[in-house]
Chain A
C-alpha cells in the first residue's frame, strides 16, 4: 500500500533545482509582452489556452527551447523579473515548500542588453517578499551557460563580483548543453567566483545526458558540493560510494527527465539504487511552466512510480534534502524536527487505526 497522497502533500519541501526563467507561464507571458510592446512571431500561439496546449506537447528539447527563448524576451524591466518570481512563490506556497534555492541565467538577459542589476534586483525583491508574506526562505544561484565561451562566463563572474561578495548571489551553477562542454573548461570561472567569497556555494549540471565522469570532474575540478540531475552517476558504483560518503546532493527532476526524453517513465529513475547507496537526492521541478508541473507534481509522480516507499523512506528523502540545503545548522534541525513530527503523526494514525480495529 502506498502512503497516502495527503502525507506527501503535507511534507515540508525544499526546492533545489528550479530555473526562474523556466517558470514563466502563458498567463504572465502575454501580459508582459503587451506591457513591453513586444510583438510575438506571427506563428506564435495567440491565446493562453493555445499556448498552454503547445506546452503540453513538446517534441524534444529544441521544441521546448523555441518557446523558452521567446518567453525570455518578454522580460525587460525590474518589475517583470519581480513578478515572474512572485508568480512562482505564490504557486509553491500552496505546496508546503519551506525553502527554495533558485537558478537564474543572467546571460540570457545581459546578451539582450538587459543590465545584470535589473535582473538581480527584481528577483531579490521577490525573495524578500516571499519570506515576509509566505515564510518561504530562498536564495539565488547564478548559472553560467556552458555553451557560451568560458571567457564570456569569466566576464560575467567579474561583472557580478559585488553580488557574489555580499551574498546577494548565494550559489554558482553551470547549465545548458552538457556535451561537448566538459567541466574542465570552467575551472577558472569557478575558482575566481570562490575567491570573491569563500562561503559561495558551488553546483553544476552534470550526468543528465553527459557521462558519470562529468560528475566526478565537477567535484574534483570545479570543487562543487552539489550535482544537478546527476542520475547518470549510477553508471559508476565507485562514484556512488563517493557521493554518499561526501554527502553530495543530487537534484533530480523527474517530470523534466520524462518531458525531455531522458527517461520514458518516472519509474525508470534509479532512485532505489541511490537510496541503497545512501546518496542524498531531492525532487525538483526544473522548468515547471514548461514541463507540466511544480514541485508537488513531481513528488506525486514519484509517489505513484515508487509505491513501495513507506513513511520513513519519504521522511529520510525529505530530511536528506534539508540537511544538504545551503541553510544554517539551526534551521536544518528545526526543519528536520518538523518532518519527524509529521512522519510520527501519520505513523501513529496508522497504528491507532490498527489498534482500534483490533480492540
Chain B
C-alpha cells in the first residue's frame, strides 16, 4: 500500500456539505463524537449550532421512538408531523436550536414514577428513595405504604459531572424511552441497555412465550441437575442403578455418569457456582437494586456450565434501540435489527426471535415493534404486520426461538394510499391499523380484517391503545374508545378535547383503571380510578383530592375516582416529554425547562 491517495476515491471532505450533512443522521451519537474528533472540518460542522438539520434528525433518531408503534410512520400527509417529544421540546424551548434541545434532552431529563409500590415496581420502595416525601405516600388499611401519590424521581445513575456538555453527545445512561407492563417499567438508555423495575415483570403470569409444558432451557436448573446427577448411585433390586437425588426423573439423567463426589469427603459449597453466575448476570443501578438490567439468553456462552468464569459473558449483550411492553412481557429491537422477547415467568433472559420462512433482516428489516396485552406485533419491510402469541422454546446449545407467527394480509404496501401509517395492539392477536389514506380504521381479529364504522372527523394520523383504551388522532380532533377484555365498546366513542384553552392531548397512556394524557405543552393530565388509593393519578393524597381540592370522590371503600382530566402538578420548572402507564402505576420522563 502506498501513501498516495487513490484518484478514484473521494474524500468525504470533498463532498458538498449538504450531502455530508444529510448522511450524518445515519450515524450513532458515538460515531458522531468520534467523527468530530477526527479533524477540524467535522469538528466545526458538528459543533455549529446552525447545522440544525443534523441535530434535528439526530434528535428524531435517538429520542423520537420511531421504531415502536408509539409513533406513526412518516407520511406525505404528515410531513409536518413531529414525534411527541419533538413537539413538546419545540414548545418548551422555542428559542433553542436543535443542537441545544438535543443537549437538554440528553442531560436534563429524568425518570419519574408514581402509583402502587408493590414489588418495588416504581423502581424504589417507600424507604429506599430519598426523593420520596413521606407526605406523598398513601397508607391503606393493613397495607401500609401502599402507593405514591405524586410523580417522584427514580434513583438513577448519577449525572456524570465530568461529562462534557459542550460535545452534545448524550451521556451513556440517559433515559431514551420508557414503557410499562402490568407489573413493572422498562427503561431504554442511550447506550442501548434495557432496565426493568421491581422484582418481577411477569407478576407470575405467562406471556407470549413457549406453549404449555414447553419451556426454555434453564442453565441454572441444568446446573443443579448436573450436580445432583454426580451423586453416588444406588442399587435397587429389579431396577438396577438409580440416581439418589430424588428430585429429577431417573430417565433424564444418563446413568453412565460416574460419581466424582465420593461419600465422606468434604465438598465445596453447593451454591457457590450458582451464586457466581447469579452475580455475573445481575446488574443493578448503583445504589438502587430495585432496577435491574435485562440481559439476553445469548449471554450464556454455549449453554455449558462447566466453566463458570466464561459461562456468562456481558459482551454478547446487544445494543437496543426500541422497547415495547405488554402486560407480562416486553420486546426489544437491537441496532442490528434483531428482536428479543422477555415473556416467561421462568426466565429473566430475553429470547432471540426468528421468523421461519421469512426473508432475512438484511433485505426485509423490522421497522416497528409493538406489544399487545398478551402478544407481540411487528412491521416488517415489504412483508407487513406480523403477530404472534407464542414461540418455540430455547433448547440447550441453540440460541434462537421461532415465533408461531401470522402475517396480517394486505399490509405490505410500500407506498400509496394503502401503506400502513400506524398500528395499535389489543389482546389475542387483535390489531387496529390505519393507512396513509387516513380514511378507515381496520381491525384484524381471528384472521379476519374488517373496517370500523365510527363517527370521526378529519384524516386519521395516529392510533394508540392501552389495556382499556384506544386513542385515535386525526388532523382535526382526537377521540377515545373504551375496551374491555379485548372487546371494543363502540358506543363509548368520545372526544378527547380538553376544556383548557390552548391545550391538546398528543399522547395517551392507560393502566387498568386510570388514564394519563400528555399535552403539546408538556403538561400531564390524569383521570380515572385509583384502586385501593394506590396514587396512580399523581394528584396528591386522597384527602387532598376529595375534600381539599375537590377533584374527585371516593368510590366504594377505598377507591378514588376523578372524572375530568386533571392537571398533575410537576416540580417547579419541569415539563413532561413522555408518559407511560400500566396496571396501577404511571411513569413519565420529565425535563427541566
Contacts and interface: CB of A to CB of B under 8 A. Distances in A.
Contacts of A39: 234-236
Contacts of A216: 119, 199
Contacts of B220: 147, 180-181
Contacts of A61: 269-271
B234 A185 contact: no
Contacts of A63: 266-267
Contacts of B202: 184
A175 B438 CA distance: 57
Contacts of A62: 227, 261, 267-270
B254 interface: no
A241 interface: yes
Interface stretch (B204-212, B473-481, B505-513, B539-547): B204-212
A3 interface: no
A111 B266 contact: no
Contacts of A261: 269
Interface string A173-186: 00011011111111
Given A107-B247, A111-B247, A184-B202, A60 B263 contact: no
Interface in B277-317: 277-278
B468 to A, nearest CB: 23
A111 B346 contact: no
A38 B270 contact: no
B554 interface: no
Interface residues of A, number: 62
Interface residues of B, dominant DSSP? loop
Contacts of A238: 125-127, 145
Contact of A66 (B126, B263, B274): B263
B201 to A, nearest CB: 9
A69 interface: yes
Interface string B116-153: 00111000011100000000000000111100000000
A65 B263 CA distance: 11
Nearest to A214: B199
Contacts of A184: 199-200, 202-204, 345
A217 B119 CA distance: 6
A185 B346 CA distance: 5
B346 A179 contact: no
Interface stretch (B48-56, B159-167, B187-195, B238-246): B238-246
A191 B262 CA distance: 41
A246 B242 contact: no
A213 interface: yes
A242 B246 contact: no
Contact of A70 (B142, B232, B247, B266): B232
Contact of B204 (A65, A145, A179, A186): A186
B237 interface: yes
B567 interface: no
A112 interface: yes
Interface stretch (A148-156, A195-203, A276-284): A148-156
A6 B385 CA distance: 77
A132 B143 CA distance: 42
B61 interface: no
A61 B267 CA distance: 9
A237 B203 CA distance: 24
Given A72-B246, A151-B215, A221-B203, A180 B267 contact: no
A266 to B, nearest CB: 21
A329 interface: no
Interface in A49-98: 54, 59-63, 65-67, 69-70, 72-73
Contact of A187 (B120, B203, B224, B228): B203
A151 B267 contact: no
Contacts of A73: 234, 236, 242, 244, 246
A337 interface: no
B293 to A, nearest CB: 15
B267 A60 contact: yes
18 contacts: A41-B233, A43-B232, A43-B264, A44-B263, A60-B269, A65-B270, A66-B267, A112-B242, A147-B247, A148-B248, A149-B218, A149-B221, A184-B202, A187-B205, A187-B345, A216-B199, A242-B143, A261-B269
For the complex of A and B, list the 4 residue pairs with the smallest distance between their C-beta atoms, beginning with the closest: A187-B204, A62-B270, A108-B246, A59-B266
Given A149-B346, A187-B203, 15 more contacts: A39-B235, A41-B232, A60-B269, A65-B231, A66-B232, A66-B261, A72-B244, A72-B246, A108-B247, A149-B221, A179-B274, A179-B278, A187-B204, A188-B204, A220-B118
